[in-house]
Amino acid sequence: MRLIILAVGRLKAGPERELCARYLDRSAKGGRALGLSGPDVTEIAESAARRPEDRMAEEGAALLAALPEAGAVLALDPRGLEMTSEQIAADLAALRDRGSRSLTFVIGGADGLSEAVRGRADRLIAFGRATFPHQLVRVMMAEQIYRATTILAGHPYHKA
């Protein structure tokens, strides 16, 4: 199963980009033995629209256009379900075992996700109720993907 992070905005050079790259590399290496490829990252340009509603709509249309036709979609949204790392790993394994071709984790821009993207998602998940910059959320998502691969592999990285 192909893992994808689809995100609004670009990670500029710096510590967030380096940390994200480190977790993505670790995930790619550990995921191969688990039947996982990627995670690949697709970045969508931030909208320059003046109104937040217009920005969300433009970014939402671009996100929907970039989604693979087949596959599962988990969108990060503060109103989503708070999941444990074990639950994320179990969902990932269940989708893989059911033959899903891909799993895309969608991260919106600073204004959040459009209703169209939220409606397309198979599940909305949250990293708590606090607000985080979307660049930091990308690092957190990359770490959770890596953590899921270690949980599935029985690696001692995850200490529950």
pLDDT, tens digit, 9 for 90 and up, residues 120-131 = 999 999 998 888
Q: What span, in angstroms and rounded, lies between the C-alpha atoms of 3 and 72?
A: 10
Pair 31, 150: CB distance under 8 Å: no
Tokens at residue 9, please? 């905005």
- Please report the pLDDT score of residue 71 as a whole number: 93
pLDDT tens figures, 72-129: 999 999 899 999 999 999 999 999 999 999 999 999 998 999 999 999 999 999 998 8
81 is in an annotated binding site: no
Per-residue HEC secondary structure of the chain comes to CEEEEEEECCCCCCHHHHHHHHHHHHHHHHHHHHCCEEEEEEEECCCCCCCHHHHHHHHHHHHHHHCCCCCEEEEEEEEEEECCHHHHHHHHHHHHHCCCCEEEEEECECCECCHHHHHHCCEEEECCCCCCCHHHHHHHHHHHHHHHHHHHHCCCCCCC
**Residues 6+ away with beta carbon under 8 Å from 40:** 2, 3, 4, 5
Q: What span, in angstroms and rounded, lies between the C-alpha atoms of 7 and 41?
A: 8
- Please report the pLDDT score of residue 46 as a whole number: 95
112 is in an annotated binding site: no
- Please report the pLDDT score of residue 61 as a whole number: 98
Tokens at residue 122, please? 């198979």
